Each structure stands twice: as C-alpha cells, then as structure tokens.
Amino acid sequence: MAQRPASAFVRKVPDGDTRPRLVCGTCGFIRYENPKIVVGSVVAYEDRILLCRRAIDPRTGFWTLPAGYLELNETTVEGAMREAFEEAQARIEIDRLLAVYSIPRISQVQLVYRARLLDPQIAPGVESIEVGLFRWDEIPWGEIAFPSARWALTHFHEVAGQADFTPRGNPPGEFGNLGEGGL
C-alpha cells in the first residue's frame, strides 16, 4: 500500500480506540506507530567479550555490543547474527535469549542474546570505528555507550557458566528512560 503524504494525516482518537493515532483525513486509514525492535548479542570468545566502538550517532566513539534494528522479514536470531557481522565482521552462534529490555523513552524493545564467536578474526564494519575482545576486567566501563549495554554485560556475567537461566529484564528501578540512544 502506498503511503499517503504526512499532510493527509491528522492525530486523533479513532472510534473504538483510546489513544491518539495518525488517521488519514481522506479515507480513515490508521497509521499505527509502534516501538522499534532492537536485537543484539553479548558475544564471547574464550574469556573475552566482543565490543564495538561506534562510528555513528548517537554516542559516536563509545563502546557497545553489536546490535541494531530488526529488519522486515527477519527473525530476531537472524537479526542479532546479521548485526554482529555488520558491525564487527563476526560470525557468531546464538546460545539463548539473555535479556529483554523495555526502553519506553525511545520506544524500543531490546532483545539481547548470549552468543559465541566462531572465529576470532574480527574487523570493524561500517558502523564501527574499532572492535575488540575484552576480558571482564578490561571492559572500558566509563566508555560504554548505553545503559542497556551495561545491563546486558552485567546480566551476561551473572549467568556465566549456566546452561539454563531465566532471561533478564530491566534492572530494578531502571525503566529505560535515562541516557541517550539504544543498546
């Protein structure tokens, strides 16, 4: 379906709804605005974790996990694997879902997987200035780009060595409304 020009839409509460929506003033079509899904992974190789130094806004120059928006017609696992390759030329194997974070301030739901790096040959992709494998005590904590990346690293550390665990969520008191950007 072709999108109508934005000027044809008005924000109003449609009949039978409770929230303001973008509604076409001509035909009544409702354009729903929904949260974006972000997928990523905490990728381990031996006793080290893969981090990417961002080449793009927000938070250019800061370190984060390989992650990004889920594409159309892609599973969340496929998306996490694609993001690892795009950002770090990393071929990974997904182990299991590590966490689901809600970041309502930026309308994101983030799914973060625990993964294993299949080959230590990594290189920056177009969205990364630099990539590296860090031991826990080498992680540049003061240069981590986003709160959710810090949460995921901490949750990864909590479940290290566990084959079975319950996926984590936002830490207590963290409602995802602080900080810039996403994962």
Domains with residue ranges and CATH for the chain: 1-33 (2.20.70), 36-158 (3.90.79.10)
In sequence order, what DSSP letters do the residues of 34-95 get, joined into one string?
Answer: -PEEEEEEEEEETTEEEEEEESSSSSTT-EE-SEEEPPTT--HHHHHHHHHHHHH---EEEE
Tokens for 33, please give them.
Answer: 């605005």
- Confirm if 38 and 109 have CB atoms less than 8 A apart: yes
Residue with tokens 């990346």: 149
Q: Based on DSSP, count helices (H) and strands (E) in the chain, helices before strands.
A: 2, 10
Residue with tokens 């996990």: 65
State the 10-residue block means of pLDDT for the chain, 183 residues long.
68 94 93 96 98 98 98 98 98 98 96 98 97 98 98 98 97 68 51
